[in-house]
Amino acid sequence: MEKAASFYFYGSLNDFLPASYKSKLVPYTFTGAPAVKDAIEALGVPHPEVQGILVNDYPVDFKYQLQQADWVEVYPASAGATWPAHYSIQAPLPTTPTFILDVHLGKLAKSLRLLGFDTLYQNDFTDSTIAQLASEQHRVVLTRDIGLLKHKSIQWGYWLRSQHLEEQLTEVLSYFRLASKFSTFSRCLVCNSLILPVPKAAVLAQLPAKTKLYFDEFYQCPTCQRVYWKGSHYERMQEFVQRLKAGEAGSVGD
């Protein structure tokens, strides 16, 4: 026998709904007693973006089985949101989260590494690999693919609303409250390893001619051997970081 429930989605969860259902009552028909998580995702909202669920004014978790005439209210997750601990269905994020990004977000990965955040990225990762690594290494998944966030093994994740790099970075920094946690120029932009000071003589053969003449302070990635120094690109990146700290979206330096 077909049954019916009613859903209402708050705040940013409306981003996943068609225009006709945004900030409105959403009807849902079903048979049997499906888990409320399945119903929420069937309506388009991935579970990592959900912080709390009330059914008929009582808090429930994702395993709650829908019943005829249930009134379901769904609240968004956010690092800055306050929600009673016994109501929350999201595990607390680490103090400084680590990330894994989907294959379309290489520029965002580089930008997060620039700011010092542990960011796993490879352009050949499959969705199942990303979900597995996120679960095993307790990483936050960042993606433009809503379907990826619906993998049941993913605990934390965020769907980027924008397709533009500067706006994406601003979204992530704001959503996860990261502005005070920068450790700029501490990671390799290519492979994510922490870079280390290195004597000029040890990397001399890798340096362009003018760099040999004008610079004496160098850093090297112990994993991929890439060498870094504080040239004009460093100054542009510093300006970029200052704009971010001031809440202004800039563009990433070379």
Residue 248 has pLDDT above 70, yes or no: no
Structure tokens at 131: 């979900």
Q: Which residues of 132-157 are buried (b: 16+ CB within 10 A; e: fewer)?
A: bbbeeeebbbbbbbbebbbbeebbbb
In the sheet with 227-229, reading across from the earlier edge strand, the strands are 196-198, 218-220, 227-229
Structure tokens at 239: 């300006």
> Rounded to 5 degrees, what are φ and ψ at 137?
-105, 5
pLDDT band at 253 (very low <50, low <70, confident <90, very high): very low
Structure tokens at 110: 């580089």
Residues 139 and 120 sit within 8 Å (Cβ to Cβ): yes
> Rounded to 5 degrees, what are φ and ψ at 218?
-135, 155
Q: What is the mean pLDDT of the chain?
A: 91
The answer for residues whose C-beta is within 8 angstroms of residue 128's C-beta and 6 or more apart is 151
Element (H, E) at 245: helix 232-245
Residues 170 and 249 sit within 8 Å (Cβ to Cβ): yes
Question: How far, in Å, CA of 48 to CA of 115, rounded?
Answer: 24
pLDDT band at 250 (very low <50, low <70, confident <90, very high): very low
242 or 47, which is more confident: 47
pLDDT band at 121 (very low <50, low <70, confident <90, very high): very high
With CA atoms as reference, report the closest residue to 245 among 167, 173, 176.
173
pLDDT digits (tens, 9 = 90+) for 137-184: 999 999 999 999 999 999 999 999 999 998 999 899 989 989 889 898
> Rounded to 5 degrees, what are φ and ψ at 62?
-65, -20
237 or 90, which is more confident: 90
Question: How far, in Å, CA of 10 to CA of 178, rounded?
Answer: 24
Residues linked to residue 187 through DSSP beta bridges, in sequence order:
194
Q: Are strands 58-60 and 50-55 parallel, antiparallel or unpaired?
A: antiparallel
Residues in the chain: 254
pLDDT of residue 254: 39
